[in-house]
Structure formats: C-alpha cells, structure tokens
Structure 1
Amino acid sequence: MEMAVEQNCAAKSELQSKMESVLKENDCLLKHALGVDIVNIVVNDCMKVNCLTVDACEQCVTTESELKTDLIKKENYEMLLNQYQTLEKHCISLELNNQLNTEIFQRDNVSSL
C-alpha cells in the first residue's frame, strides 16, 4: 500500500511538473501572439497613415491642377478684356472721326451752295 501511495505521489508530482511545463509554454505562446498582434496593429496604423497621406497628396495635386486651370482662365480673360477695351477705344475714335468728317462734309456742301 505504501508503494502504491508513493507511486501515486510520484505520478502526481510528474503530472504537476508536466502541467507547469505546459503552462509555461502556453505563456510563451500567448506572449508571442500578443507581440504579433501589436506588430500587426502598428503596421496597419502605419498603412492607414500612409493611405491618408496619399489621399491628401492626391487632393493637393487635384486642387493645384484646378488652380492652374483657373489661373490660365483668368489670364485669358484679362487678355481678352484688354483686347476688348483697346478695340472699344479704337471704335470710339473711328466713330468720332466719322462724325467729324460728316460735319465737315455737310459744312462744305452748305458753303458751296
């Protein structure tokens, strides 16, 4: 009977030892898994930041392109406006010249009669 008790104690001790070994291995695996999760979280966050940066850059490029187009349109508008104003002045000058010539012609016609 004592022998059975000693064998039982030895088996129990061996089982506890194996259990502790399994628990230590489990702890190591959990630490490794947590480490991998943390690395994944950091990598995903970095990717999100990079994606946001790329989106912001795309928006800046689009805005810059639109501004260049607007600037070209403004330059064209200003050029056309200047040309119109020049033509308008020339037209007024021609109208005044024509009016003056008409008056001179009428005066000469009246005086020759």
Structure 2
Amino acid sequence: MEASVQQFSVDKKCLEIAKKEILLENDRLLQKVMSQDVLITLMHSMSLNNDSVNVIMQKRELCEKCLNLDDEISKSKQAYNGLLKKYSQLEKHCISLEVSMQLK
C-alpha cells in the first residue's frame, strides 16, 4: 500500500511536470503565432502602402499626359487659326485677282 502511495505521488509529480512542459510549449507556440501574425500584418500594410504609392504615381503620370494633351490641343488650335487666317487672306487675294482679271 505504501508503495502504491509513493508510486501515485511519483506519477502525480510526472503529470505536473508534463503539464508544465505542455504549458511552456503552448506559450512558446502562442508567441510564435503572434509574432507571425504581426509580421503578416506588417507585410500586408507595406503591400497596401506600395499599392497606394503606385496609384499615386499612375495618377501623376496621367495628369502629365493630360497636360501634354492640353498643350498639343492648344498648339493645334493656334495652328488651325493661323491656317484659317492664311486661307482667308488667300481667298481675298483670289477674289482680288478675279476682279482684276475681269476689269482687264
């Protein structure tokens, strides 16, 4: 009987030790998971930041293209107005030549 009590006491201590080892391993795994979670969150945040930087860069490029197109449109309008004036002058000159030819 005394041997059974001693064996029970030894078994109880072994179970307590195993329980402490499991709790320590559980804490270690929990810390590892939390560290990985923080790392994943950080990486996701950096990815979102990179995406927003890319969107800003694309927006800037599109704005520059729009400004360049506005400049080209403005130049085209000026060229059109210049050609229109020259055409008008040429038309007047042709009319003048016709009148002159008819008078002679």
TM range, normalised to the smaller chain?
A: 0.7 to 0.9
Which residue pairs with 1:7 in the alignment? 7
User: Superposed, which structure 2 residues align to 1:1-113 within 5 Å?
Assistant: 1-88=1-88
Q: Percent of counterpart pairs with the same letter?
A: 17
TM-score by length of 2: 0.79
| Consecutive aligned runs of 4 or more in structure 1 exceeding 4 Å deviation | 89-99
Residues paired across the two proteins, number: 104
C-alpha distance in structure 1 between counterparts of 2:8 and 2:90, whole Å: 121
- What stretches of structure 1 of length at least 5 have no aligned partner? 106-113
Gaps of 5+ in 2: none
Larger radius of gyration: 1
- Name the SS for the 2:73 alignment partner: helix
| One-letter amino acid of the counterpart of residue 41, structure 2 | I
Q: Is the deviation greater in 69-78 or in 58-67?
A: 58-67
Distance 2:69 2:28 in 1: 61
Q: Calculate the TM-score normalised by the size of structure 1.
A: 0.73
